[in-house]
Amino acid sequence: MINHNNHLIPAPEWATTNRAFRYGDGLFETILWSNGKAPFLAFHWQRLSQGIAYLALDVPAYFTEAYLEEQLHFLAEKNQLGIAGRIRITVYRDSTGTYKSLQNNASFLIECQPIDAAHLEFTERGLTIGLYKENLKATGPLSNIKTTSALLYVLANQYAQAQNWDDAILLNTNNKIIEATSSNLFLVKGTSLHTPPLKEGPLDGVTRKVLFQMAMQEGYGISSGPIEPSMLLDADEIILTNAIQGIRWVGQYGGKTYGNKAARALHGLWLDSIK
């Protein structure tokens, strides 16, 4: 028996052995469902596979990209996702033990929910952002995958809400800009886009990859390198990217107002690619 919120109940599996709940021993992917498909599934599968290998998880032999795509379609149909939806895949180490797991077998959970297709459209109001400095993100391979240990992002989001910001920008342990709480970050200067490299610690974002392709097709120059906080004020635009909302633009940071010309054009290309 366990005490759950002052109620004595039989101990459920999630409370006693689920390592994703107890230790954050797992990873996840959040995938956009749009018009009956997962537009960038190959990128999601690549990142998920890399994370599974890095965490040394033993997934079932049938757990392949083809199987995953089949299950996404099946679940979307059963849940009547319609035009747009959010699908989350969680893969975790299914083992007993404490920090030392007794085995590496993996289990997975796939869930989904509909979203309003209007949320995919370009927003005319730019985001207000600020720096979150209280906790810094370590660099290294673990920083590039989506683990279920997401407390840093939760705390940064709470801080942003307390400051009346729409989002917070994270720093790595070298005090370099790396990403927002749920997005990769790009600075726009003229016709050039600049973003932190993966070695600086940002998530290896799916829409980050997509933006690379679209920007080059449109004639934008792409570069990556460390970003000092002062560089935010020198940019013409600040663009945030994530898998569900595509491309968003920052309207205010540190007293400066930004434009959205590049963000608007690139978001239009992103919309076309998910139809």
Q: Can you give the CATH number for the domain in which 152 is found? A: 3.20.10.10
Q: How many domains does the chain have?
A: 2
Half-sphere exposure of 27 (CA within 13 A, CB side): 22
Q: Choose one of 76, 100, 120: the last residue of a domain.
A: 120
Q: Choose one of 72, 98, 120: the last residue of a domain.
A: 120
Could you read off the pLDDT of 212-265 as tens digits, one per residue?
A: 999 998 899 999 999 999 999 999 999 999 999 999 999 999 999 999 999 999
Domain that holds residue 138: 127-274
Give the E-state strand segments of the chain in sequence order. 2-4, 7-9, 26-34, 84-93, 106-114, 127-137, 167-172, 177-180, 184-189, 192-195, 221-224, 237-242, 246-253, 256-257
Residue 14 pLDDT grade (very low, low, confident, very high; cuts 50, 70, 90): confident
Q: Pick the residue with more confidence: 147 or 13? A: 147
* Residues 115 and 131 grouped into a single domain: no
* Residues 40 and 168 grouped into a single domain: no
Burial of 123 (0-12, 13-18, 19+ CB in 10 A): middle
The token pair at 268 is 């239009």
pLDDT of 107: 95
pLDDT of 94: 92
pLDDT of 135: 98
Half-sphere exposure of 31 (CA within 13 A, CB side): 31
pTM of the model: 0.93
Could you read off the pLDDT of 111-127 as tens digits, one per residue?
A: 999 999 988 999 999 99
* Residues 223 and 257 grouped into a single domain: yes
* Residues 156 and 220 grouped into a single domain: yes
